[in-house]
Chains A and B, each alone.
Chain A
Amino acid sequence: MEFFDCNVHFGYPTKGSVAPVGSISKLIESIRKAGIYKALVWHITQHDASPQVGNKLLSDAIQPYPNLYGCWTLLPTQTGELPPPEVFFAQMKTARIVALRTFPRSHLYPLNRLSFGKWLDPMIDLRIPIILSLRRGCEWQDIYLLLSEFPDLLCIICDHGCWGMDRLFRPLLEQYPNVYIDTAQYFVDGGIEALVNDIGYERILFGSGFPESYFGGIMLMLKHARINDEAKSAIANGNLERILSEVKL
């Protein structure tokens, strides 16, 4: 199996953590040891301190590593803290940034058309994924509201919780064809098997949640899940490879 991890970060969190991975070299070493071949990464500073500073820390760090792809963080267009969308998207291409993260609760804005329309309309056209983490700066009602206004948005829901959250994300998967979930914290027994059986494997992406979670938990689960090899391969890397191949930057 080959694993393309959609949910990895690095850097030292402001409030500390049990086992942070501070440097890109340490991240690369951890990925190699676990047997991960590609990762979509972000820097914790993008959330904790400054999207602008964090975005630069991220893109500078990943440049020497072609198996790493980046996610920058957005802010509302109205305050002018980031370059205009067309400039920003061009910078993304140069920096190997292929997805975007937002943290509406932490950075204090509503994730809706009024504040984010100028980002999200072109993101739909360009097939750029937005990644939302329930572990950090986002709540379910934010996602429900966002998708009600932008039903075609390519949205990856990460870290949706370990407490069997199917009742919360399955309605979104049913209603919106461009919504995906990752596997970080999705370790309710039989959860992946039930989801694959009910809706198929195409909407599930391998994500570890590293460094807050161990790589091996979800990897071993997926390796021995009661689903066929085609489904395992798609979840481990194929679905994310397809999504990123369709990004038009």
Chain B
Amino acid sequence: MNNSSSYISDSPLAKEFWSMGKSVSCPIYDLHGHMGDYPPIFMPKSDLTAMIETMDDCGVKLLVFSHHLALLTPDLGNQASIEAVKQYPDRLRSYMVFHPKYPEMISETWKTFEKYPEVFVGLKFHPDIHEVPLTDPRFKPAFEYANTHKLIVLSHTWGTSIYNGYKEVNVIAQEYPRIKLLLGHCLHAEWQSATQLAHDFPNVYLELTAVFDDRGAIETLVSGVGSDKVIFGTDLPWFDPHHAIGALLSADITDEDRHNIFHRNAEKLLAPYL
């Protein structure tokens, strides 16, 4: 029998999420999502309707995402993201995917971005997928545009990567101080390096997607730089938000930290767009 008086931890937030699956006082802002199929992965809830159902179940108030088609199918660009946000304008915002290998698309990319201010809150880079380092000149137009307009940029980052590891992020963060740079996956597994970057640069934030399955990483990030630089994300529809929430509730941090991570930091970042 379970002789414990509570599950996961004895924090008030843990009790509320355990009981209800969501929290009235603690809405979730997920700043790293996708949508649609992804070839190597079985994802049973990747369509728009199913994702909204998951968001409702988990108390996710807003998801900022980039459609997989925008990442993988340059022919279609960001159209699928635009259509999804138009269907659920109160629940979704999108990042505009910038593809560095097609310079002929750049001017159209910015036109689309400016045409839909109700859709886009920033840019999404995935150097590992597109196989172009963040420091490559082909990314320069996008960084200059984002820096000029003080945009949020979510970039995939990974500790072992030659495209988006510590060295590349360090250069970019110095060169473009006006962008709000979200390190997707926090340089996965190089938690100390990610913490150092967030400490060194006021414009660098740590985004938690895929961090939740490495116990101790959350504590490392929060103790290293403070919870006001840490942003919640899940890769939905890849990962169930309840898994991420449960991990954050398990971590040895305070409920104040959790409020910062679940919603307060995102509310500040997104304030100009909502």
Closest chain B residue to A18 by CB distance?
B216
* Contact indicator per residue, chain B 241-261, by CB within 8 Å of chain A (1) or not (0): 111111111110000000000
Provided the pairs A18-B191, A164-B238, A189-B236 are in contact, do residues A216 and B250 lie with their beta carbons within 8 angstroms?
A: yes
Provided the pairs A212-B215, A221-B240 are in contact, do residues A190 and B45 lie with their beta carbons within 8 angstroms?
A: yes
8 Å CB contact of B247 from A32, A214, A224: A214
Tally A residues with Cβ within 8 Å of B: 42
Identify which of residues 210-225 in chain A touch chain B, using a CB-to-CB cut-off of 8 Å.
210-221, 223-224
Contact between A220 and B17, CB atoms less than 8 A apart: yes
Closest chain A residue to B10 by CB distance?
A33
Tell whether A166 is near chain B: CB-to-CB under 8 Å: yes
Cα distance A194–B42 when bound, in Å?
Answer: 10
Cα distance A226–B57 when bound, in Å?
Answer: 9
Closest chain A residue to B252 by CB distance?
A19
Tell whether B176 is near chain A: CB-to-CB under 8 Å: no
Tell whether B3 is near chain A: CB-to-CB under 8 Å: yes
* Contact indicator per residue, chain A 32-56, by CB within 8 Å of chain B (1) or not (0): 1111110000000000000000000
Cα distance A3–B3 when bound, in Å?
Answer: 12
* Contact indicator per residue, chain B 222-250, by CB within 8 Å of chain A (1) or not (0): 00000000000000111111111111111
Residues of A within 8 A of B217 (CB): 18
| Central interface residue in B40, B236, B241, B247, by most chain A CB within 10 Å | B247
Contact between A35 and B246, CB atoms less than 8 A apart: no
Cα distance A166–B45 when bound, in Å?
Answer: 14
8 Å CB contact of A216 from B2, B4, B247: B247
* Contact indicator per residue, chain B 1-38, by CB within 8 Å of chain A (1) or not (0): 11110111110001001100100000000000000000
What distance in Å separates the Cβ of B244 from its nearest Cβ neighbour in chain A?
A: 7
Tell whether A139 is near chain B: CB-to-CB under 8 Å: no
Tell whether B105 is near chain A: CB-to-CB under 8 Å: no
Closest chain B residue to A222 by CB distance?
B242
Identify which of residues 178-231 in chain A touch chain B, using a CB-to-CB cut-off of 8 Å.
185, 187-191, 193-194, 209-221, 223-224, 226
Contact between A189 and B240, CB atoms less than 8 A apart: yes
Residues of B within 8 A of A18 (CB): 191, 214-217, 220
Residues of A within 8 A of B128 (CB): none
What distance in Å separates the Cβ of A233 from its nearest Cβ neighbour in chain B?
A: 12
Contact between A210 and B215, CB atoms less than 8 A apart: yes
Closest chain B residue to A220 by CB distance?
B246
Provided the pairs A18-B217, A35-B2 are in contact, do residues A216 and B44 lie with their beta carbons within 8 angstroms?
A: no
Cα distance A95–B219 when bound, in Å?
Answer: 36
8 Å CB contact of A217 from B44, B219, B247: B247
Provided the pairs A189-B54, A220-B8 are in contact, do residues A163 and B40 lie with their beta carbons within 8 angstroms?
A: yes
Residues of B within 8 A of A164 (CB): 41-43, 238
What distance in Å separates the Cβ of A20 from its nearest Cβ neighbour in chain B?
A: 9
Contact between B7 and A162, CB atoms less than 8 A apart: no
8 Å CB contact of A223 from B4, B18, B40: B18
Tell whether B212 is near chain A: CB-to-CB under 8 Å: yes
Residues of A within 8 A of B21 (CB): 220, 223-224
Contact between B246 and A214, CB atoms less than 8 A apart: yes
Contact between A19 and B17, CB atoms less than 8 A apart: no
Contact between B240 and A2, CB atoms less than 8 A apart: no
Binding site for A on B (CB under 8 A): 1-4, 6-10, 14, 17-18, 21, 40-46, 50-51, 54, 57-58, 191, 210, 212-217, 219-220, 236-251
5 closest pairs, A vs B, by CB?
A19-B216, A220-B246, A216-B250, A18-B216, A190-B45
